[in-house]
A and B are shown apart, each in its own frame.
Chain A
Amino acid sequence: MIRFPFLPLVENEMLKLWKRRRFRLVLLILVALIGIIVFAQVEGRRRFGSRKDWRIDTQEQVARMRNWVRQGRMPDTQRRWMQFEIARLQYHLDRNINPEDLSGPLFARGFANAASYLLLHLLAIVFAADIVSSEFAQGTVKLLLTRPVGRRRVLASKLAALLLAVGLTVLLGGVVAYLFGGLAYGYRGWGAPVLTGFRLSGETLDSSAVRAVPLWQDAVLVFGLAWFATAAVAAIGFMTSVLLRSTAASMGTMFAALILGTILPRLASTWEFQKYLFVTNLPLPDYYTGSPPPIAGMTVPFSVGVLTVWGALALAVSFIVFARRDVLA
């Protein structure tokens, strides 16, 4: 085997994604959507107005809670919650931020949660659906696979470009959400303490593992999970692109699957098996931050595991089929 450097192949694939305006389209969608969301929120809040005397109120609240904690007649969990709340309010007082208000950083994290229900995955499919099938449609696959580069290497370069594009999309979503959110709610607040580690056990909220972390740390995790789920969708979309060799068919299949994932937990929540479907596991950033999971008993590690298995199988099928199949396009 002659081996040529791998990076130039990835460069080729990125060039093709860029030249077909895929990135620009995705960026445009993110800017437009986030812009609309921020605008709608700001307009909606204007009706309620903001209280001018929030500082005094908050200071009183902190003093009251400090008093209660000092007196100490309360269960342990409540005390811990109250200590956290004091820290949180004090953080905002110190920085002269209304704790009731959203901040740019909070909005960005909230965006990652909301976008994990559909948006990021749809965008991933914009990249994934035609990264292989377009070569068949254009006929360029005949040139691509008659160069002295093995088929697996060609496919690996496409996968690398796809994962890079997906990563950039999630990152870009975060940046755009922070910029727009900051414009409306202020850019400070990355250090604000937030609670993490909620777990739903049966009917009750298990808060034994709850701890306070700075918002930026939490946001990194939330975006990491959003990226992971999106990458899994991309891997499965990659497989449909390889198998179906048609962008339209690949997109249609993936859209149907994603939409199924948003409908199924609502209309058939008692069907337990769906927790093994990849689509049910996609909103994991949201139940990481405390929302109830689509099916009781699903945890973040469980979902990461399910998505890993699905993603790995999809890639295995892609590579086996792509390397063996006759190219008759």
Chain B
Amino acid sequence: MAETVLSAEHLTKSFGDRVAVSDASFEVAAGEVFGFLGPNGAGKTTTIRMLVGLARPDRGRVRIRGFDVAKDFSRAMAHVGCIVEAPDLYPYLTGRENLLHFARMLPDGARERIPGLADLVALRERLDEKVSTYSLGMRQRLGIAQALLGAPDVLILDEPANGLDPAGIREIRRLVRQLASERGIAVFVSSHLLSEVEQTCDRVAIIHRGRTLATGPVAELLSRSGGGHRIVAKPVEKAAVVLAAIFPGEIQRDGEDALLLPASSGGIPDVVRALVEAGVEVQAVERRSSTLEDFFLEVTGGETV
């Protein structure tokens, strides 16, 4: 396993009586895209504020490359690039002036990275125009360029897909994957979109009402929920009886003429043979594309994202 570059330990934060984040712990390794998934208001942005030292945790600590953000702020932040909540840059400055502004707050070398980063985020043409004329997608890309100015080991992006059109979302997703695989950057991405996390991330933590409900590789979380197969059969009642004998208590009816088999339903040929022998007409067997949504519904007890 690659080196852990970002770790959060028991992060807790309250505002008055309201607990915004409760005991959040996770680790992100170099070259990994880590998803932080939860509905709006779940505590994602508050967690990010604690990660980058904007808010002080009531309890717990954040370490970046081993440096405690609370105690060794400058050294920790030298390894981080971030966008918190929205890609807010100075609208009255040009893209280049914005990048120069933040390069002045970094060690030597940041300035020289500007042309390369402008190419990376495809902003070279518009770099000398004021940010106030940029589209949201361009601002998001400029924000990412800004975050990469210091050649960070950790990139923290808060809802990078927010407000973008499908092409923009695809572009950001490609960029994030590229940064993780080619440069070995640990990318922490928050999102309230399941599809987004599913398609971009290696591992995911799910946060709901300030609590981290589950953490693990995306594939593993997916296999824990949903999955399985959907069988369209006629007559469906008869099929249900047959399958119930093989998977007691695990068969669900899905619509008029279909049944759902659990994720563990191996041996599909056997199942089909059993159905055929019982005189059931099998019209279709499809692998269910499982989603984090299923998992999320499961862990939050039915609350939607």
* Total interface residues in chain B, CB < 8 Å: 33
Task: Known A16-B90, A19-B97, A149-B74; judge A8-B55 contact (CB<8 A).
Answer: no
Q: Is the CB of A147 within 8 A of B84?
A: no
Q: Which of B55, B75, B84 contacts A148 (CB 8 A)?
A: B75
Q: Give the CA-CA distance A328 to B74 in the complex, in Å.
A: 20
Number of A-B contacts (CB under 8 A): 90
Q: Give the CA-CA distance A180 to B73 in the complex, in Å.
A: 52
Q: Is the CB of B55 within 8 A of A327?
A: yes
Task: Known A2-B74, A2-B107, A4-B107; judge A143-B102 contact (CB<8 A).
Answer: yes
Q: Give the CA-CA distance A328 to B54 in the complex, in Å.
A: 8
Shortest beta-carbon distance from A124 to chain B in Å: 21
A1 in contact (CB, < 8 A): yes
Q: Give the CA-CA distance A16 to B100 in the complex, in Å.
A: 12
Q: Map CB proximity to A onto B47-59 as digits: 1 under 8 Å, 0 otherwise.
A: 0010011111000
Stretch at the interface among A134-142, A160-168, A193-201: A134-142
Q: Is the CB of B54 within 8 A of A147?
A: no
Q: Map CB proximity to A onto B72-112 as digits: 1 under 8 Å, 0 otherwise.
A: 11111110101011101111110001000110111100000
Q: Is the CB of B54 within 8 A of A327?
A: yes
Q: Give the CA-CA distance A138 to B132 in the complex, in Å.
A: 12
A266 in contact (CB, < 8 A): no
Q: Which residues of A, 43-80, contact B by the 8 Å Cβ criterion?
A: none
Q: Map CB proximity to B onto A111-147 as digits: 1 under 8 Å, 0 otherwise.
A: 0000000000000000000000000001110111111
Contacts of B53 in A (CB 8 A): 145-146
B160 in contact (CB, < 8 A): no
Q: Is the CB of A149 within 8 A of B93?
A: no
Q: Which residues of B, 33-79, contact A by the 8 Å Cβ criterion?
A: 49, 52-56, 72-78
Q: Is the CB of B56 within 8 A of A326?
A: yes
A186 in contact (CB, < 8 A): no
B210 in contact (CB, < 8 A): no
B227 in contact (CB, < 8 A): no
B146 in contact (CB, < 8 A): yes
Interface residues on A, range: 20 to 34
Task: Determine chain A's interface SS by DSSP, over half rule.
Answer: loop
List the A residue with the shortest CB-CB distance to B101: A12
A206 in contact (CB, < 8 A): no
Task: Known A140-B88, A146-B77, A327-B55; judge A15-B97 contact (CB<8 A).
Answer: yes
Q: Give the CA-CA distance A225 to B90 in the complex, in Å.
A: 35
Contacts of A143 in B (CB 8 A): 82, 84, 88-89, 102, 146
Q: Which of B49, B73, B75 has the most CB atoms of chain A within a 10 A radius of its CB?
A: B73
Q: Give the CA-CA distance A327 to B51 in the complex, in Å.
A: 12
Q: Is the CB of B49 within 8 A of A326?
A: yes
A-B contact list, 13 entries, CB within 8 Å: A1-B75, A2-B107, A4-B105, A12-B105, A15-B93, A15-B101, A138-B91, A140-B88, A140-B89, A142-B84, A142-B88, A143-B88, A148-B74
A residues adjacent to B (C-beta < 8 A): 1-4, 8-9, 11-12, 15-16, 19-20, 138-140, 142-150, 324, 326-328
B residues adjacent to A (C-beta < 8 A): 49, 52-56, 72-78, 80, 82, 84-86, 88-93, 97, 101-102, 104-107, 146, 150
